[in-house]
């Protein structure tokens, strides 16, 4: 095979191989490639086409190209609007690159050009046989694939060159770049023909497998259609014979239940439509299960089933007293509502909202009401609900759609008039997917819930006979329109005496039972439960107290299992072995009077707490510094207190310009906890006056009240929880707004008798009680 050395412009190609005798259109866009093309047009229109090894690479060196390319002649070129050039090239011969030079504008290659020798086509009968085998295989490929017209076989048959025939066949096949390059690299004609034949044989195997798969799929489809036809035919035959298929029996059962059960007219109409739709659907249709699920849901709801109330006030009172200790006012209000419900002709029930800190018995009270009425009890927690669809349900257009929690609870109860507890309604959140609190308006509004429509069922359900009980920790987190539909009943924190009674009456027995112990297995000594309450728990409710008692029971159970003799005795001396060291050894209240330190009182969602307030007076330019994560309202209370002090400089013995020479820093410890509200107004004012006048504040006094610019003390809320917290911390004198004097009666008598209450209407009265006389010889630094 003759070879000659050529110097040609180099055109790298991405993902493409051009064979000799092949004509193809190419788009040339890279700057150096366009320059190489222009050079070829200036010379003899010849250019070397070589495939890149990596299509993504822009800067091309000799190592980035395959060794064998194609010498081609540019037949036609045309400039495109985007700056690229479209060319028509004809492959002439193979060429092996020996050197590659990167010139200024383009790359030039030095290569050996290989031209097929026509004499080789006549060398042997073996080559003739190989040619015929290749042509036969190609003919089969054309007929099986249908990708090129059969007329192309004529152009192959008339070729007198075996090498050209191999190249032309290779150009028609859809091959990977590596295989095409491998064919191009075959300089020897016999070797080239042999590789083309093997490639054709592989392609024929793939095509035959594709045909086989296609035939099987078609047969399967025909089988499905045939099965459908046969099933319909069987259905017709069974109908003629008086027999029924399974779906027909199911539909008939639905129709029978529809006749036997009572439904509202609109529901009966909807059910009839859905049963007819199920009857018309094919058993193979995916809609069948959706329609069946919908029908089952409607049948499962208690459209007319309800329980008859067995309420008697004496019986209800006995149930409430048996289940809960204390809570006298709460029980009285519940009994009032039950009495009204018993007398009222209308069946519309009240909506009770139990508000209080965790662990005070809100959920168990709702359960007791259900037992007192003889109704079913449903408990649904709304904490963390963010999607309106969890209340109203999802529409049936969604995959896996179901009704919302309301109708799911009604179905669970099995009656249309259960006691339905909506727990933690203040923990619902609003998101992009809808406002669940807004959906609750329809549920809890007696004027609307007579025809509550769940998105899934899309028919009205009467919720007006449900006794709704709602619980919350913080009333302020409930939207006002929702709050207006409810009767608020407030549950306050338990006192130490109430906790002790609850522990003796309920918690010890419950803890024993939960841990497999009997009454004879464990004994609690005198004062042990009180010690647990004071030294190991500080909470509004009794949940932590129950956990500590259960912890003791678990320790006792282990000792019994390990061979200890029952009963296990728990005393104040060995309590540490059961519960480790006490958590609360001291109170947060100050033990000694100090300057600028006042004990305030605060209300939180989990009960009351005391709020130590510190003030320091520093040399400065009149800044008021507030720290401890104080909210806007509390910051404004501090400003109001300072303004009051400035208006009373002479009475307090302060210099008229004291606020221009000092900075006042107010700090409320436990800075990680946000604090807000106006009730710390007199506390911060008293602390500032103490720091400015250097008069100590009594350590056994706690106070609460809002302050005005004139020094008046305004009423506050949550007095009971605040007083209980102060008592728990060892405080025995309480300063409170005069208008809150009537709230003292709400405080349990056993606590009230041990405290001194000082109602105040003005800051002068606060200072008179809270500040100690100035020590002799100690003058005010700011006078």
pLDDT in tens, 465-524: 888 899 988 887 888 888 888 888 888 778 778 888 888 888 999 999 999 889 888 999
pLDDT, position 614: 93
Alpha carbon of 110 to those of 90, 99, 102, 107, 500: distances in Å? Answer: 20, 5, 12, 10, 103
pLDDT of residue 57: 82
Identical topology for domains 3-115 and 313-490: no
The whole-number average pLDDT for the span 106-120 is: 80
Q: Are strands 487-490 and 351-355 parallel, antiparallel or unpaired?
A: parallel
DSSP state of 506: I
Distance of CA 193 to the CA centre of its chain: 65
Q: Give the pLDDT score at 127.
A: 79
Answer yes or no: is 358 a known binding residue: yes
The per-residue pLDDT for 255 is 87
pLDDT at 734: 93
pLDDT per residue over 639-669, tens digit each? 999 999 999 888 888 888 888 889 999 998 8
Residue 783: helix, strand or coil by DSSP? coil
Determine what percent of the chain is predicted with pLDDT higher than 70.
91
In degrees rounded to 5, what are phi and psi of residue 648?
-125, 35
Give 333's pLDDT tier (boundaries 50, 70, 90): confident
Q: Tell whether 748 is in a known binding site.
A: no
Q: Is 708 annotated as a binding residue?
A: no
What CATH number should be reported for the domain whose range is 122-173+187-209?
Answer: 1.20.58.1480
Residue 755 has pLDDT above 80, yes or no: yes
- Please give the structure tokens belonging to residue 555: 């320790």
For residues 695 and 10, what is the distance between their CA atoms, to the nearest angstrom? Answer: 98
For the domain made up of 313-490, give the CATH fold. Answer: Rossmann fold (3.40.50)
Q: What are phi and psi of 781, to 5 degrees?
A: -70, -20
**Residue ranges per structural domain of the chain:** 3-115, 122-173+187-209, 246-300, 313-490, 496-579, 594-770
**Average pLDDT over every residue of 729-745:** 90
Classify the phi-psi angles of 400: left when phi > 0, otherwise alpha if psi is within -120 to 50, otherwise beta.
left
Q: Mean of the pLDDT values across residues 68-83? A: 87
pLDDT band at 1; cut points 50, 70, 90: very low
Choose between 546 and 333: higher pLDDT: 546
Cis peptide before 502 (omega within 30 of 0): no
Query: Is the domain defined by 3-115 classed in CATH 2.30.130.40?
Result: yes
The tens digit of pLDDT for each residue in 669-695 reads: 876 678 778 888 999 999 999 999 999
**Token pair of 319, please?**
């149930």
Pick the catalytic residue from 679, 690, 696, 699.
679
Task: Give residue 615's pLDDT band: very low, low, confident or very high (50, 70, 90).
Answer: very high
Q: For residues 463 and 457, what is the distance between their CA atoms, to the nearest angstrom?
A: 14
Catalytic-role residue among 331, 499, 720, 722: 722
Strands 85-102 and 107-114: antiparallel
pLDDT value for 783 = 42
Sign of CA pseudo-dihedral 702, 708, 710, 713: negative
- 414 appears as a binding residue in the annotation: no
The pLDDT tens digits for 537-588 are 877 788 888 999 999 999 999 999 988 888 889 998 888 888 888 887 655 5
Contacts of 596 (CB under 8 A, 6+ apart): 614, 615, 616, 617, 687, 688, 690, 691, 697
Phi and psi at 471, nearest 5°, equal -120, 150
391: pLDDT strictly greater than 80: yes
Identify whether the C-beta of residue 701 lies closer than 8 Å to the C-beta of residue 731.
Answer: yes
- Tokens 């590596």 — which residue? 178
Q: Is 362 within any annotated ligand binding site?
A: yes
Q: What's the CATH number of domain 594-770, 3.40.718.10, 3.30.230.10, 3.20.20.70, 3.40.50.2000?
A: 3.30.230.10
Tokens 């506050």 belong to 716
Average confidence (pLDDT) over 161-184: 83
Q: Name the percent of the chain lying above pLDDT 90.
A: 15
Task: Tell whether 83 is in a known binding site.
Answer: no
Q: Is 149 annotated as a binding residue?
A: no
Residue 669 marked as a ligand binder = no
How many whole angstroms separate alpha carbon 78 and alpha carbon 782? Answer: 96
DSSP string, 241-277: HT---HHHHHHHHHHHHHHHS---HHHHHHHHHHHHH
Q: Is the pLDDT of residue 3 over 70?
A: no
CA distance 503 to 528: 11
Report the range of poorest mean pLDDT among 377-381, 672-676, 681-685, 726-730.
672-676
Q: Looking up tokens 């911390």, which residue turns up?
A: 729
Of the listed ranges 163-167, 252-256, 455-459, the one predicted with least confidence: 163-167
Banded pLDDT at 706 (limits 50, 70, 90): very high
Question: Is residue 679 flagged as an active site residue?
Answer: yes
CATH class given for the domain over 496-579: mainly alpha
């Amino acid at each position: 095979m003759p070879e000659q050395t050529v110097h040609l412009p180099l055109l790298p190609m991405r993902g493409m191989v051009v064979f000799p005798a092949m004509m193809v259109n190419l788009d040339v866009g890279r700057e150096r490639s366009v320059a190489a093309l222009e050079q070829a047009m200036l010379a003899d229109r010849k250019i070397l086409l070589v495939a890149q090894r990596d299509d993504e690479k822009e800067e091309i060196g000799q190592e980035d190209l395959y060794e064998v390319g194609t010498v081609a002649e540019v037949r036609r070129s045309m400039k495109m609007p985007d700056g690229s050039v479209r060319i028509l090239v004809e492959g002439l011969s193979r060429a092996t690159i020996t050197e590659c030079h990167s010139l200024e504008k383009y790359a030039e290659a030095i290569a050996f050009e290989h031209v097929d020798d026509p004499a080789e086509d006549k060398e042997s009968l073996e080559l003739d046989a190989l040619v015929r085998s290749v042509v036969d295989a190609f003919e089969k490929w054309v007929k099986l694939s249908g990708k090129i017209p059969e007329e192309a076989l004529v152009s192959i048959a008339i070729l007198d060159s075996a090498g050209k025939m191999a190249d032309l066949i290779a150009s028609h096949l859809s091959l990977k770049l590596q295989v095409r390059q491998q064919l191009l690299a075959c300089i020897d004609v016999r070797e080239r023909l042999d590789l083309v034949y093997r490639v054709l044989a592989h392609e024929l195997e793939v095509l035959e497998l594709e045909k086989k798969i296609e035939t099987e799929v078609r047969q399967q489809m025909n089988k499905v259609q045939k099965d459908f036809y046969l099933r319909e035919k069987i259905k017709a035959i069974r109908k003629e014979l008086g027999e029924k298929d399974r779906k027909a029996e199911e539909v008939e059962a639905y129709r029978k239940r529809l006749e036997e059960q009572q439904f509202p007219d609109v529901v009966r109409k909807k059910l009839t439509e859905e049963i007819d739709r199920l009857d018309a659907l094919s058993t193979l249709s995916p809609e069948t299960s959706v329609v069946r699920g919908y029908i089952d849901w409607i049948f499962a709801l208690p459209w007319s089933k309800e329980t008859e109330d067995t309420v008697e006030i004496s019986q209800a009172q006995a149930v409430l007293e048996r289940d809960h200790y204390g809570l006298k006012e709460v029980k009285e209000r519940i009994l009032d509502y039950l009495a009204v419900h018993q007398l009222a002709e209308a069946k519309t029930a009240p909506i009770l909202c139990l508000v209080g800190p965790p662990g005070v018995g809100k959920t168990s009270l709702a359960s007791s009401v259900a037992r007192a009425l003889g109704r079913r009890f449903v408990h649904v927690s709304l904490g963390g609900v963010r999607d309106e669809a969890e209340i109203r349900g999802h529409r049936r257009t969604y995959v896996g759609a179901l009704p919302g929690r309301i109708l799911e609870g009604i179905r669970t109860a099995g009656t249309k008039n259960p006691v339905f507890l909506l727990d933690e309604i203040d923990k619902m959140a609003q998101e992009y997917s809808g406002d669940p609190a807004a959906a609750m308006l329809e549920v809890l509004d007696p004027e609307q819930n007579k025809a509550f429509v769940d998105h899934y069922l899309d028919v009205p359900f009467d919720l007006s006979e449900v006794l709704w009980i709602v619980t919350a920790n913080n009333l302020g987190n409930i939207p006002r329109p929702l709050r207006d539909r409810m009767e608020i009943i407030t549950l306050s924190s338990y006192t130490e005496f109430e906790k002790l009674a609850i522990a003796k009456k309920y918690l010890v027995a419950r803890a024993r039972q939960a841990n497999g112990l009997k009454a004879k297995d464990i004994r609690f000594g005198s004062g042990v439960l009180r010690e647990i309450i004071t030294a190991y728990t500080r909470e509004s409710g009794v949940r932590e107290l129950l956990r500590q008692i259960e912890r003791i029971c678990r320790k006792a159970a282990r000792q019994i299992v390990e061979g200890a003799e029952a009963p296990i005795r728990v005393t104040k001396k060995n309590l540490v072995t059961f519960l480790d060291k006490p958590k609360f050894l001291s109170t947060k209240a100050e033990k000694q009077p100090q300057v600028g330190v006042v004990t305030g009182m605060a209300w939180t969602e989990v009960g009351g707490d005391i709020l130590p307030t510190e003030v320091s007076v520093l040399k400065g330019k009149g800044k008021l510094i507030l720290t401890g994560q104080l909210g806007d309202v509390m910051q404004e209370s501090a400003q109001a207190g300072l303004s009051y002090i400035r208006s009373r400089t002479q009475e307090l013995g302060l210099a008229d310009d004291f606020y221009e020479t000092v900075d006042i820093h107010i700090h409320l410890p436990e800075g990680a906890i946000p604090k807000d509200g106006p009730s710390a107004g007199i506390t911060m004012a008293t602390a500032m006056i103490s720091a400015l006048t250097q008069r100590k504040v009594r350590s056994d006094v706690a106070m609460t009240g809002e302050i005005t610019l004139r020094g008046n003390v305004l009423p506050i809320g949550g007095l009971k929880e605040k007083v209980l917290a102060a008592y728990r911390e060892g405080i025995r004198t309480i300063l409170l707004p005069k208008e809150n004097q009537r709230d003292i009666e709400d405080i349990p008598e056993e606590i009230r008798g041990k405290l001194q209450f000082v109602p105040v209407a003005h800051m002068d009265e606060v200072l008179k009680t809270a500040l100690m006389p100035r020590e002799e010889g100690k003058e005010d630094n700011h006078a």
